Amino acid sequence: MTDLSTRLVQANAELAHLKQHVDAACSAVKAKCLHDGKLDAKLFDNWQLPSYELAFCMAEISAATAFNNYALDLSHEEFSQKLSLSFCAETMLTVVNRLSARAADIAVDRDEILQVYSREVFKGLLDDFASTEFLSVLGKEIAENEIQRLPSTLEEEKELVRETFYRFANDVVMPLAEHIHRNDEDIPDLILQPAAELGCFGTCIPERFGGLQPDDRPDSLGMIVVTEELSRGSLGAAGSLITRPEIAARALLGGGSQAQQEKWLPRLAAGEMLCAISITEPNTGSDVAAVSLKAIPAKNGWLLNGSKTWCTFAGRSELLVVLARTNPDVELGHKGLSLFLIEKPAYAGHRFRHEQQDGGSLTGNAIATIGYRGMHSYDLFFEDYFVPAVNLVGEEDGEGKGFYYTMAGFAGGRIQTAARATGLMQAAFERALAYSKERRVFGAAIADYQLTQVKLCRMLATLTAARQFSYAVAELMDQGAGQMEASLVKLFSCRAAETLSREAMQIHGGMGYAEESAVSRLFVDARVLSIFEGAEEVLAIKVIARELVEQAV
């Protein structure tokens, strides 16, 4: 092993040591939240801030570990290994600060936490890889050599796919992205048609249904690679094209009947039918179990009545996947929910109304947003809207199982959102790097200044950590695991995208605040990532921290 490889192994050991402190903190929270031997939800709500911080600690440790593991595979790439060590050192500082700040809250020993600073390996990592000089030297190398991304470890087939969609983003998406954003227009067929021809919509659909995923195994990595490059082109105009068919496909594959799979999946894979996912309601947010849209039994089907919100791409889509309450007993919670497939015409623009022959109607109004334009998000109102019984996912066997089918889709949606964040970060970094070399201030290029060099170093390190973390989680998910990790990588990557896009805008100075600069679009687009597919707070507290605390000993 090289010296740097040895340091990476040591760094992973220090991250594992920090994780022990996180585990101990989770145990301390658990002890305060037990009632009759079980975790009490009301008591747990009294520890939201510590839980929130613990979730981020685990996400950051996991991201740094994934980066280190990637760098260990590149023993001949000194720069990659140095960048990973710099990210790891700064991450360790962040985690220690989070833990020590909350020590009094959860009655853990702050002095014990701070003792990590006296560990020789820990001190060595900070001194050698987190110093101003070290970070600025890496940043200078990034600027001088125009290093936009670290070496790929993808297999040849995946790298070919990545390059194909990289060119598609450059040649097709980017020339249209600013116009779509500034005018809040629909995604044009100029993007949709060639995307469909490239197989974009079939990345998560098995080959037997016309998709790109092998029949004998899942391929989450392929989906991630495509999503990254599409999102690099534009989050709103391309990056989310895969999300909705992926969630729909996972739901159908998880609970749909054979007839339903054969009817819907080939059309989704070919891009012949665009789809939208309608889960959120005005008063529920991320609390999926509280869905109240009524589905009332009718002859040969169901009548839907009520409202939905934040249904992205609802206008242009011909298929809506809708979660509704088929059992009126609210005490059943998520057990009273079912998932429906609704066919409708495609509508352009910001509002639509679909009236059925028997009097039912579905109305949609786009919600004005600061970013993520192109895939307009809609408020929906159903009034006696008829859905045939055969369009209940799983048909008779699927009644009351809609929550589980939805969750099956959301796990993939979370890792896919992490990939969207990475793609956006890649775009922001590329623009920041180019501008830093062009723009001169006080007689020198911005890239020649120490602080800019440190920023470039941290930006490339962060987006690489997010990328490698998502790759690692994809492998876990394809092995039937990785549910927790999918939430962790979303939490880390989406927050990172906000920070990185801000730094990209800052490097641009005043031009970064101008609409004519692409980084202004990237900045407002990044803001949505921590909100959809599981809001950051809900994901951190109700999903990640809850599971960490429940599993603590």
- Per-residue pLDDT tens for 9-31? 999 999 999 999 999 999 999 99
- Following DSSP, what letter does each residue of 367-424 receive, concatenated? PP-SS--SS-EEEEEEEEEEEEGGGBTTGGGGTT-HHHHHHHHHHHHHHHHHHHHHHH
- pLDDT interval class at 52 (50, 70, 90): very high
533 is catalytic: yes
Q: Which of 47-56, 148-157, 283-292, 326-335 has the lowest mean pLDDT?
A: 283-292
Q: Which residues pair with 392 in a beta bridge?
A: 340
Closest listed residue to residue 500, CA positions, set 446, 448, 457:
457
SS3 breakdown of the chain: % helix, strand, coil, rounded to 5? 65, 10, 25
- The 3-state DSSP class for residue 317 equals coil
**Alpha carbon distance 173, 518 (integer Å):** 13
Euclidean distance between CA atoms 508 and 172, whole angstroms: 25
The pLDDT of residue 545 is 95
Task: Give the rounded distance of the alpha carbon of 46 from its chain centre.
Answer: 28
Q: pLDDT category, 288, cuts 50, 70, 90?
A: low
Average pLDDT over residues 449-457: 98
Which SS3 state, helix, strand or coil, does residue 321 take?
A: strand
Average pLDDT over residues 249-258: 91
Cα angle 536-466-449, degrees, rounded to a multiple of 5: 105
* CATH architecture of the region 275-403: Beta Barrel (2.40)
Q: What is the pTM of this model?
A: 0.93
pLDDT of 330 reads: 75
Are 401 and 228 contacting, i.e. CB atoms less than 8 angstroms apart? no
Query: What's phi and psi for 355, nearest 5 deg?
Result: -110, 130
pLDDT for the residue numbered 333: 75
The percent of residues in the chain predicted with pLDDT above 90, rounded, is 81
From the list 485, 503, 533, 536, the catalytic residue is 533
The answer to whether the beta carbons of residues 289 and 403 sit under 8 Å apart is: yes
Closest CA to 483 of 551, 377, 407: 407
70, two tokens = 């990637």
Q: What is the per-residue pLDDT for 250? A: 87
β-pair type (275-278, 319-325): parallel
Residue 322 confidence (pLDDT): 95
Output the pLDDT for position 291. Answer: 80
pLDDT value at residue 335: 86
- pLDDT value for 412: 75
Q: Which of 141-150, 212-221, 293-302, 544-553 has the lowest mean pLDDT?
A: 212-221
Residues 6+ apart with CB under 8 A from 171: none
Give the whole-number percent of the chain exceeding pLDDT 70. Answer: 99
Q: Which fold has domain 3-130?
A: Butyryl-CoA Dehydrogenase, subunit A; domain 3 (1.20.140)
Q: Where are the domains of the chain?
A: 3-130, 275-403
pLDDT on residue 302: 96
pLDDT at 1: 61
Shortest CA distance to 226 belongs to which of 372, 420, 67, 374?
420
Confidence at residue 289, expressed as pLDDT on a 0 to 100 scale? 65
What local confidence, expressed as pLDDT, does residue 106 receive? 84
538 Ramachandran zone, left/alpha/beta (phi>0; psi -120 to 50):
alpha
The pLDDT of residue 295? 94
Map residue 366 onto helix, strand or coil. strand
Scanning the structure block, which residue is given the tokens 């995923």?
Answer: 213
pLDDT higher than threshold 60 for residue 286: no
CB atoms within 10 A of CB 208: 13
Contact 431, 504 (CB under 8 A): yes
Whether residue 251 is predicted with pLDDT greater than 80 in this model: the reply is yes
pLDDT at residue 443 greater than cutoff 80: yes
Does an H or E element contain 182, and which? Answer: helix 174-183
Mean pLDDT of 432-437: 97
Which residues, 6+ apart, have CB-to-CB distance to 190 below 8 Å? 172, 176
